[in-house]
Amino acid sequence: MLPHINFSDYIDPKEMCELLKRLIQIPSINGDETKVAEEIIRILEKEGIETYELIESAPGRGNLIIDIRGKRGNGFNLMIIGHADVVPAGEGWTVPPFAGIERNGWIYGRGAFDNKGQVTVMVYLAILLHRLGLDFKGKVRLLIAADEETQHPNHGVRYLIKHRPDVFKGIHGAIGELGGLVRINNKEFQMIIFGEKSSATYDIIVVGEGKHSSTPYGVKNPIDSLAKILLRIPDGVFFISNPVKKALKKTLGFYSYFLTNRITNKLIIKLIEKKNKELARSLHALTHITIAKTMVYGGTAENVIPREAKATVDLRGFPEQNEKDLRKIITKYCRGIEIRLRTYIPSTYTNPENSLLHNAICDVIRTLKYEPLPVFMTGTSDSAWLRKLGIPVFHFFVTKHTIDCFNPHMADEKIHIDDLMLALQGYYYLIMKLS
Ligand SMILES: [Zn+2]
């Protein structure tokens, strides 16, 4: 049985909102995570919580670790991982993206949902456990990491794994970022993200002859060759991954067959596209190794045919493919052309079957009167690195309002006050369940 407590007796939702607003006001775009950590440390110290550590990979690039140990002895050591950096604001905002504006219970700003909302909930989870007298078994380690969005090998979680492996020692399971409510056929579900696709980015480098642009006759122009190659590359190669297939079957039942069959897949995605373009894109990504062209460059002067032209492509695969497999796919379209790997994040998943942590999350979601939904994420996150260490990772973040988990980097990013409170309850109940 879960303890019945009135959460608003212990945590004032307004307090949480104030912290979230202040965090949004720090524009921690690929940096300045230490400023975010310092804002949080101020609140922790006011509360008398001193079990934290700030680990910087470089000046300003801080990872904050907060340890909360239950007074009832050893038990499940749970890590909850969020991140302090955000992506650039981009275009299309109807409010200033770094002001932390509140409107009808919604807090707007870059990072409101991804991931400063969750970070705020994590901080108040520490405070709640403290205010309730640490009456639980085991340990909660909160990790508010740097550089999740750009995944530099020498910052954030990857830095910690290399230089401070003790941070992950003795952790029995972890909760990753995002999650929330989704509505399918008028039924409400809470997402449990159990896996994610990989990302391998490559530069395609075409070399030609550098010549003056006044005499182009017969010149091997690398821009022409590159353009031809790029037009040949499709936006995806059909592939059904085993864990994705299982999750689709659980979600859609018999209908999942049409998605996982090569012939009907195209048709069904075209049909869905007419009604819901976003959903069609997600389903395409879940049933294809996707290939996206993301950057193209070549030339340094307007009157010179360049010697070299370059494009970057981003391939997203499944646990069944490693980097070499993805490289093979792109090589097929670029025979005889140099291909250089830029970055690689592996695809990983945690098997939900017979997982103590997964069962506990499902129990919590049902206690809050929702149904759990297994989700394989098309994006990447720090969870890949934790899973590589052998730590089971699931993402969940219970919300009252529907969440577009596949597009967190849009304009007018927002989160509702009620979502912060519900997510806090979800995390608190999970700790009690594991205890
Ligand atoms: Zn994120």
In the prediction, which pLDDT does 278 show?
Answer: 85
Mean pLDDT check: name the lowest of 175-189, 237-251, 281-295, 319-333: 175-189
What is the Å distance from ligand 1's center to 51 Cα?
Answer: 25
Q: What is the pTM of this model?
A: 0.92
Which CATH code is given to the segment(s) 199-345?
Answer: 3.30.70.360
- The chain-wide mean pLDDT, for the chain, equals 94
What tokens appear for 107 in the block?
Answer: 């807090």
How far apart are the C-alpha atoms of 425 and 397, rounded to whole Å? 10
Q: What percent of the chain has pLDDT over 90?
A: 88
Q: Do residues 88 and 411 touch, judged by C-beta distance below 8 A?
A: no
Is the pLDDT reported for residue 404 higher than 70? Answer: no
In the prediction, which pLDDT does 294 show?
Answer: 94
Decide if domain 7-195+349-434 falls under CATH 3.40.50.300.
Answer: no
Is the pLDDT reported for residue 183 higher than 90? Answer: no
What is the Å distance from ligand 1's center to 321 Cα?
Answer: 24
- What's the average model confidence in pLDDT over 282-305? 95
Q: Helix, strand or coil for residue 299?
A: coil
- What's the average model confidence in pLDDT over 57-71? 97
In the prediction, which pLDDT does 405 show?
Answer: 60
What is the Å distance from ligand 1's center to 211 Cα?
Answer: 45
Query: Tens digits of per-residue pLDDT, 101-128?
Result: 999 999 999 999 999 999 999 999 999 9
Across 267-297, b (16+ Cβ under 10 Å) vs e yields ebbeebeeeeeeebbbbbbbbbbbbeeeeee
Is the pLDDT reported for residue 407 higher than 70? Answer: no
How would residue 136 be classed by pLDDT, with cut points 50, 70 and 90?
very high
What is the Å distance from ligand 1's center to 403 Cα?
Answer: 14
What is the Å distance from ligand 1's center to 177 Cα?
Answer: 6
Q: Between 255 and 264, where is the model more confident?
A: 264
What is the Å distance from ligand 1's center to 80 Cα?
Answer: 13
Is the pLDDT reported for residue 186 higher than 90? Answer: no
What is the Å distance from ligand 1's center to 7 Cα?
Answer: 26
What is the Å distance from ligand 1's center to 115 Cα?
Answer: 5
CB proximity list for 24: less than 8 A, separation 6 or greater: 98, 99, 100, 107, 109, 110, 111, 112, 116
What is the Å distance from ligand 1's center to 233 Cα?
Answer: 29
Across 244-254, b (16+ Cβ under 10 Å) vs e yields bbbbbbeebee
How would residue 211 be classed by pLDDT, with cut points 50, 70 and 90?
confident
Domain ranges of the chain: 7-195+349-434, 199-345
What is the Å distance from ligand 1's center to 367 Cα?
Answer: 27
